[in-house]
Amino acid sequence: MIINVAHTKGGVGKTTIAVNLAITLNTNLLDIDTQHSSCEFASLGPARNIQFWKDPEKIGDIAKEYLDDPDKHIIIDSGGYDNNISRQFLLHSNIIVTPLTTSQVEFMGLQNFDNDIVHNLLKQRPGIRACALLNKISYHDRSDAENLREVIETNLTDYRVLKTMLGDRKIYKQAFAAGLSVVEFNRSSPAAKEIKDLAAELLSICKEITEEKRHG
């Protein structure tokens, strides 16, 4: 399956989430952001048996190899921009994961991304799962996040909100700077648990897609 971490807005956590997911799920990653932060991250860390690619022309091969495959997954780190390539990748995704945090501006950003892009993609390929991921959430007070979950679920019918939320934790930055996932950095940390929960939740959505295809 192709899991595309995507939002036209920058700074929402796409790269942080994409690299942590790729390492935790032990999958390859394609970085189509022109900044190539995911590839830079990989060059800081230890040698791995997964690949971090940055060639957007791989789209044909990647779609052929991973799209709809129940057992083979790839993570895409989509750039914070909108162009023909990023739209082609979104169209050739199984799951779109859009991170956002709790603010009115960020909710409007998600709404714009949905109106401008995701809504039309789902018309073309209704099987794509669009998932909002609440990121940088205060772990002292989750009420804002719960309110945002409700606002998204009521107003943006294209999106479901993932059960897993990620806290606002400095370990995400520390691990990134060392080229490590948060699980590798400290496997008993709350962040490690969140990332493992997120990976498991996405795998269960992959299963759901496979079941749906099997039953027509």
> Does 113 help bind ligand ADP (rule: CB under 6 A)?
no
Site for Mg ion in 13-32 (CB under 5 A): 14-15
- In angstroms, the CA 144 to CA 135 distance is 12
Number of other CB atoms surrounding residue 123 within 10 Å: 9
Q: How far is CA 83 from CA 160, 170, 186, in A?
A: 24, 32, 37
Name which of 67 and 142 has its Cβ closer to ligand ADP: 142
The residue whose Cβ lies closest to Mg ion is: 15
- In angstroms, the CA 37 to CA 54 distance is 10
> Does 82 help bind ligand ADP (rule: CB under 6 A)?
no
Tell me how far, at minimum, the Cβ of 79 lies from Mg ion, in Å: 7
Residue of 119, 169, 193, 196 interacting with ligand ADP (CB under 6 A): 169
End-to-end alpha-carbon separation of the chain, Å? 18
> Does 168 help bind ligand ADP (rule: CB under 6 A)?
yes
- In angstroms, the CA 47 to CA 199 distance is 22
> Does 176 help bind ligand ADP (rule: CB under 6 A)?
yes
Name which of 124 and 188 has its Cβ closer to ligand ADP: 188
Residue of 40, 59, 67, 80 interacting with ligand ADP (CB under 6 A): 80
Site for Mg ion in 27-66 (CB under 5 A): 37
> Does 125 help bind ligand ADP (rule: CB under 6 A)?
no
**Residue 87 neighbours by CB under 8 Å, 6+ apart:** 117, 121
Name which of 14 and 136 has its Cβ closer to Mg ion: 14
The SS3 assignment for 95 reads strand
> Does 4 help bind Mg ion (rule: CB under 5 A)?
no
Q: How far is CA 15 from CA 42, 112, 123, 184, 188, in A?
A: 11, 20, 27, 17, 22
Q: Which two tokens stand for residue 6?
A: 């995507």
Interface positions with Mg ion (CB under 5 A): 14-15, 37
- Interface with ligand ADP (CB under 6 A): 10-16, 37, 80, 135-136, 166, 168-169, 172-173, 176
